[in-house]
Structure 1
Amino acid sequence: MKLSTRRRPAPALPGLTATARVERRPRTLLSRLRPGDVAVVDHSDLDRATAQSLVDAGVVAVVNAAPMLSGRYPAQGPGLLASHGVLLLDRVGAAAGGVEDGSSVRLHDGVLHLDDGRALEGRLLEAADLEEETTRARLGLASQLETLTHNAAELLRREEELLLHGRGLPTLATSFEGRAAVVAVEGPELAAELALVTPYVREQHPVVIAVHHAADRLVAAGLRPDVVVVDGRSDLEPPRAATLNAAADVVVVVAPGAGHGLTAAVERTGVRAATLSTTATAEDAALLLAKAGESTPVIGVGLHADLEDFLDRDRGGVASTYLTRLALGPRLVDATAVPLLYTGRVRPRHLYVVMLAGLVALLCALAVTPVGQEWATLWGERLSGWVDALTDRLPELSR
């Protein structure tokens, strides 16, 4: 008699095993990520906004061919990933490009094991390592600011007409006259800051300008953007067609001399889009539209606020952001200041409460006067008579 045999299961290997998703630029990779994936990228000094997008996508590890922190400035992305329990392996080198997209990989003790038997060595970053490198990187801020000053001067020479005089901006159907403006940008703080300004938007009806996918976030929160600014130089898909159709104006920002491929893609949704050719970022173009409309104040939602946050972004756009902030001057207000400056309009229920309180106070005052006591006695007798009459008729009504 032949005895059945059962194959023993292979022993579980140590470390983290998951599916690898490979793309040099993290933002291009976002649409393909699924919860539990390992993101394999080549991106030095990962910024906070990109890191938050990776966290939202549910990645369990990020493998970087480049250093997470190069030392030029204190990038905030690696710390954010580590705080959410995402494993970080950097300095893998060019070999990371050999990881097959969709393949199974295992991360253990600073080594990325591939399903074909190869092992790629890198540096497994711990929280203590990140803190130490971030502290050292802060020493490089002075040189970064010096570079920023030079780049800003060059940008001002190229974009003087746009930045200082608003020439080149498209004419919009949206009326800005006598209205404030709210400019919403996709970022880690967008949801929290949007909650702060929502009462203001619903009560004061400012012009709402949303940049790229921030427009979808506003619509999901029950707010309709008046103007949607689409970044035509981004690898991301444009906002949803329903979002674009709900806006009064759509502006596509393109690089000077570049094709208008994304403009055509937007217009295929049935939306007629205007085009703005500039080297400034889409975020800064939205602020310049508010400035050209002479809106006061201009409330920034999701914008970069402090020095490190300001530098922790796409390096090509820092100079334009710096000059745009100067161009707007004191009219630009951060969303976190809105609850301190605006307490809300008086609602009908507030008036009803005040009227009720006044009526109760008046009745109490009358009750202690001879006239009030006489009225109380008179109305008490009438009320007693009505009750007696109703009581007498109850048997007849019950038949």
Structure 2
Amino acid sequence: MRFAAERRTSAVRVSGVARCDRKTKQLVKRLLPGEIAVIQHVDLDEVAADGLIAAKVKAVINTSASISGRYPNLGPLKLVKAGIVLLDQAPSELLIELADGADVQLIDNLIVRGDTVIGRGELLDEEQVLSRMARAMTNVRAELQQFVENTLSYAQMEKQFFLGELPELHLRTTWVGRHVLVVVRGPTYKEDLRAITTYIRDLKPVLIGVDGGADALLEVGFRPQVILGDMDSVSDEALACGAELIVHAYQDGRAPGLERIERLGLTAHTYPAPGTSEDVAMLVAHEQGAELIVAVGTHSNMIDFLEKGRRGMASTVLTRMRIGNQLVDAKGVSLLYHRAADWKAACLVFAAALVPLGILAWLNPITRHFLRMIWLNVKLWLGV
């Protein structure tokens, strides 16, 4: 289909280089500011939206439903509030047909390459997203019921692992009697990590990055001692930082993430376990003798797990029951208290600093004479 751009009056017109990937977390690593992200992401989650916003994309073309109505996911709302154009439910063929790095235009709901329309989607604005979120709220009760049933079902199947002897790990990192900080790539994880930097500097806990959590630690100036996970969302730079690497494997021993480690010429331990990598990180810390485990960015409720693509949280329930009160969840700590600037205290400090400076200045004859001249000029100007 040919498109005569000069004959059309457009409310939305965006052009840029397209970058395509079925996995949003992989795509954000190579996006450049001003580009257009082409993804396939049902129920776009908050963490993915944060990554796209941080990449400073102009627009997002989603070949799936950004908000399907199963539950009120926050990703689409974050995107449109950030001023990013969101074109929803575009043809899935775009991921194959559209060459990575191709120049494209979004003209209203049309995707144009050159002067040819190659697809169309549904343009979502803030009002539409909020309307869909409101409708999704009516499905929460049914979704919660299914979520609880799945959680109980998997807990029954996985309980023997969590109640029994866990796999042994012989690590060079010393854990016994120390605090351990587990950083997970979850909502507000970067802000929460920055909020506790003083704790990290003072207590010097063992730092565990769960996949992309390792990069978050490096971004704020800390090197993880341990990186644990599927190894699918952590950067090569983080893997090569010198941390001990633990690949989360299936219970039958298969560890797809180990291939990447070996390809990079690195070595790693494997840890076969059910559940999520963040649960495994907490279990390892507990079994290695940690005094206290502080978790940042962890997933702990239904929305968190649905956004992660999981239909239950059996391993998380069982893990937290096993660890008990040794676990402190710091998720959302950055939202707890934002300290406003104390101008009164600042003025008092400034005034206190002026007192010794004033005394020193008055004791110096040259300075005293200079100040007298200023005072006389002020009096003349005021007519006193």
Shorter-chain TM-score bucket reads: 0.7 to 0.9
- Report whether the alignment pairs 1:186 with 2:191: no
- Report whether the alignment pairs 1:132 with 2:106: no
1:349 counterpart residue number:
none
Q: After TM superposition, where is structure 1 displaced by more than 6 Å over at least 4 residues in a row?
A: 10-13
Q: Is the 8 A contact 1:179 1:296 kept in 2?
A: yes
> How has the CA–CA distance of structure 1 residues 76 and 322 changed in structure 2, closer, same or farther, with 3 Å as cutoff?
farther
Match of 1:274 among 256, 264, 269: 269
1:175 counterpart residue number:
174
Deviation at 1:113, TM superposition (A): 1.8
TM-score for both structures, normalised by structure 2:
0.75
Distance in structure 2 (CA, Å) of the matches to 1:136 and 1:43? 20
TM-score for both structures, normalised by structure 1:
0.72
Cα RMSD after superposing both structures: 3.0
Match of 2:299 among 299, 304, 312: 304
Distance in structure 2 (CA, Å) of the matches to 1:108 and 1:49? 28
Q: Is the 8 A contact 2:159 2:318 kept in 1?
A: no
SS of the residue corresponding to residue 152 of structure 2 reads helix
Indicate the larger mover: 70-79 or 17-26: 17-26
Q: Is the 8 A contact 1:74 1:312 kept in 2?
A: no
Write out aligned runs for 1:226-245 (5 A). 226-232=225-231, 234=232, 237-243=235-241, 245=242
Partner amino acid, structure 1, of 2:79: L
Q: Is the 8 A contact 1:181 1:208 kept in 2?
A: yes
Q: Is the 8 A contact 2:43 2:73 kept in 1?
A: yes
Indicate the larger mover: 281-290 or 126-135: 281-290
> How has the CA–CA distance of structure 1 residues 256 and 73 changed in structure 2, closer, same or farther, with 3 Å as cutoff?
same
Match of 1:331 among 316, 326, 336: 326
Distance in structure 2 (CA, Å) of the matches to 1:105 and 1:325? 48
Match of 1:289 among 265, 284, 287: 284
2:39 counterpart residue number:
41
2:221 counterpart residue number:
222
Q: Return 5+ residue gaps in structure 1 as ranges.
A: 1-9, 341-399
SS of the residue corresponding to residue 175 of structure 1 reads coil
Distance in structure 2 (CA, Å) of the matches to 1:339 and 1:149? 28
* Count of residue pairs the alignment pairs up: 327
Distance in structure 1 (CA, Å) of the matches to 2:92 and 2:78? 25
> How has the CA–CA distance of structure 1 residues 111 and 326 changed in structure 2, closer, same or farther, with 3 Å as cutoff?
farther
> How has the CA–CA distance of structure 1 residues 103 and 225 changed in structure 2, closer, same or farther, with 3 Å as cutoff?
closer
Deviation at 1:193, TM superposition (A): 1.2
Distance in structure 2 (CA, Å) of the matches to 1:228 and 1:207? 11
Q: Is the 8 A contact 1:196 1:339 kept in 2?
A: no
1:25 counterpart residue number:
23
- Quick check: which one's helix share is greater? 1
Write out aligned runs for 1:1-399 (5 A). 14=10, 15-97=13-95, 98-115=97-114, 117-165=116-164, 167-232=166-231, 234=232, 237-243=235-241, 245=242, 247=243, 249-257=244-252, 259-260=254-255, 262-267=257-262, 271-304=266-299, 307-315=302-310, 318-335=313-330
Distance in structure 2 (CA, Å) of the matches to 1:339 and 1:265? 36
Q: Is the 8 A contact 1:177 1:293 kept in 2?
A: yes
Distance in structure 2 (CA, Å) of the matches to 1:337 and 1:237? 26
Q: Is the 8 A contact 2:302 2:312 kept in 1?
A: no
SS of the residue corresponding to residue 138 of structure 2 reads helix
> How has the CA–CA distance of structure 1 residues 49 and 216 changed in structure 2, closer, same or farther, with 3 Å as cutoff?
same
Deviation at 1:66, TM superposition (A): 1.4
Deviation at 1:90, TM superposition (A): 0.7
Pick the structure with greater CA Rg: 1
